[in-house]
Amino acid sequence: MNTKNLFIACVLCSALLSTGSAYAEHEHSYISGVGCKFSQGLANTATGFIEIPKNIINISHEQNIFVGLTWGLLRGVMEAVGRTTVGAAELITFPIPTSKFITPPYVWSRFSEDSRYFGLHMPGFWTTYGPLDDGE
């Protein structure tokens, strides 16, 4: 590697490291934002299927067991595909600072809260904390 390429690489690396992360809620460094986004993407890709029992449980508690086993199962499958897809997108884009893709960040965080993508509440989805957590 010649001196010119080494200089360009150093300038690019220092620019990336000095850039603030738009991904984090609080002021974090670029490195911590990248690490958080990578771990969140890995976890969501691996555990997206937990959305199925999550939706069955929450809808059964809100409505009844029949609705939970039918609509909860259907919605759980849709949410599982969504969370797994978003997790894969976070893994692919982890070096790029972005805003949050999904809330709550992990399927087990605020288990009774419905998943929201890009901060949007989907119509017909609950938006308050449910019976299985304290809203933390």
Task: Tell whether the model's pLDDT for residue 25 goes beyond 70.
Answer: no
**Domain segments of the chain as ranges:** 29-117
Contact between 50 and 111 under an 8 Å Cβ cutoff? The reply is no
Q: What mean pLDDT is predicted for residues 60-72?
A: 90
Contact between 122 and 102 under an 8 Å Cβ cutoff? The reply is no
Task: Tell whether the model's pLDDT for residue 15 goes beyond 80.
Answer: no
What is the total residue count of the chain? 136
pLDDT of residue 63: 87
Whether a cis peptide bond, with omega within 30° of 0, leads into 104 is yes
More confidently predicted of 79 and 4: 79
| pLDDT per residue as tens digits for the range 77-130 | 999 999 999 999 999 998 888 878 888 888 888 788 888 877 665 555 554 444
State the DSSP code for 116: E
Q: Is residue 132 within a helix (H) or strand (E), and if so which, with residue range?
A: none
pLDDT band for position 2 (cuts 50, 70, 90): low
**Average pLDDT in the chain:** 75
pLDDT band for position 62 (cuts 50, 70, 90): confident
pLDDT of residue 34: 83
Q: Is the pTM of this model over 0.75?
A: no
In the chain, where does DSSP find H-type helix?
Answer: 3-18, 30-47, 51-62, 65-67, 73-92
Nearest to 90 by CA among 134, 48, 133: 48
pLDDT of residue 48: 92
